[in-house]
Amino acid sequence: MDLLLPIIKPYAWGSREALARLQGRTTPAAGPEAELWMGAHPSGPAGLTRDGRATTLLDVVTDDPHAELGTECAERFGGRLPFLLKVLAAEQPLSIQVHPDQEQARAGFAAQASDGGRGPYVDDWPKPELLYALTRFEVLAGFRDREEAARLLRGLEVEALRPVIGLLHAGTDERALSAALRALLEWPPEARADLVHSVVSSCRRAAGSTGPAAAAYGAVVRMSRHHPGDLGLVASLLLDHRVLEPGEALFMPAGGLHAYVHGVGLELLANSDNVLRAGLTTKEVNVPELLRITNPAVRVPAVMPTRVQGPGSTWLYDCPAAEFALYRTDLDGSRIPLVPAAGPRIAFCLDGSASLRATAAGSTPVRLGPGTSCFLPDSDGEALVEGNGTLFVATVGRRPDRRDTPAQPSVPLI
């Protein structure tokens, strides 16, 4: 069991308050802190100390994947820790983006390798995601129904949008939405400034109404303060606008177009950093590849937790992703078995404190406070946890033929 030293990603959209406050550091931080990475991705592996030597979780897993991951997990995922746990702190909107599935990621990464490594693919893995809201979290997630999207655009009374509205009324849902997205993202360069200005002005007027679309219009106005003149502001109106309350979660499958607008959340995803962007960003935009990868048929479901049978109060946030599953345990001072009982696990303490100890002889307990985390290798086996607070545990997803009630640990309560 290893205490982790997470990596902070200082992207421009991050907060100077949220991560520092979570970890008990002085606020505000010197600059924006956007993501807290707890995992083994090459772009930001968490640090740890093993046998008195400073190393990284990536190196530890690479050196002995069968002991760290377990034989089944190591063979399923090629010796790679399959998940990455993050805390996101979005003070400003993230880009409109999409992530590839497994086949697309492998093909795209291989094509880049044969072309000298140039391109948007960082690795050859897919990137489905689970987002758990720690504060109110505003998102644009998946496409609206095409008729609803047409009503939203029509309500702006912007003459230039009439052809796009016509596309939304033609063909099947998926084809109509794809055509409308393409039309907006490929708008003639010489006419883009006028279109965005007209849409934002109309959104500002419509945001003051009491209609059901007022919140979506208001989101465009707020995003325009950070990304003036960006075509993504117009394209965002094709997406479903939601606000997650603390404790609510959603699953973002590969191919689902989305943008995270504002809030702090826990994100669990496949161990990848593949992102195709279309707007609302200063980073590289790749509209042709995003349009190729985006699937308007993808739905973004809410994830409803299920209670895990056994001692304590543990909930499973299960998703149709082979790479990950998320558990939340509400600690009440009792000593209980840690769930799950096997496999590679990253435990993260959101608030309060938690003491974890593997039941193997000679194991040393690890104590977690707010904003801290630890890695439990499969070789640690079953473990006990006690404390008061909220503990999340990220682990590998169950095999498709095993999506039943999670197995319970067999350790005695001592």
Active site residues: 277
The DSSP string of 264-319 is EEEEEEES----EEEES-SS---HHHHHHH--TT----B---EEPSSSS-EEEE--
In the block, tokens 């499958």 appear at 253
Region for 53 from its dihedrals, namely left if φ exceeds 0, alpha if ψ lies in -120 to 50, beta otherwise? beta
The neighbouring-strand residues paired with 336 are 385
- The rounded distance, in Å, linking the Cα atoms of 158 and 155 is 8
Pairing of strands 83-90, 258-270: antiparallel
The DSSP string of 202-260 is HHHHHTTS-STTHHHHHHHHHHHTTSTT-THHHHGGGEEEEEEPTT-EEEE-TT--EEE
User: Cα angle at 319 between 318 and 324, to 5 degrees?
Assistant: 85
The neighbouring-strand residues paired with 50 are 53
For the beta carbon of residue 86, count every other beta carbon within 10 angstroms.
25
- The rounded distance, in Å, linking the Cα atoms of 75 and 70 is 9
Contacts of 50 (CB under 8 A, 6+ apart): 2, 60
- The rounded distance, in Å, linking the Cα atoms of 258 and 279 is 11
**Residues making up the chain, counted from first to last:** 414
Contacts of 405 (CB under 8 A, 6+ apart): 308, 309
In the block, tokens 């100077």 appear at 16
How buried is residue 44: exposed, middle or buried, by Cβ count under 10 Å (0-12/13-18/19+)?
buried
| Residues 119, 124, 125, 126, CA torsion sign | positive
- The rounded distance, in Å, linking the Cα atoms of 12 and 216 is 23
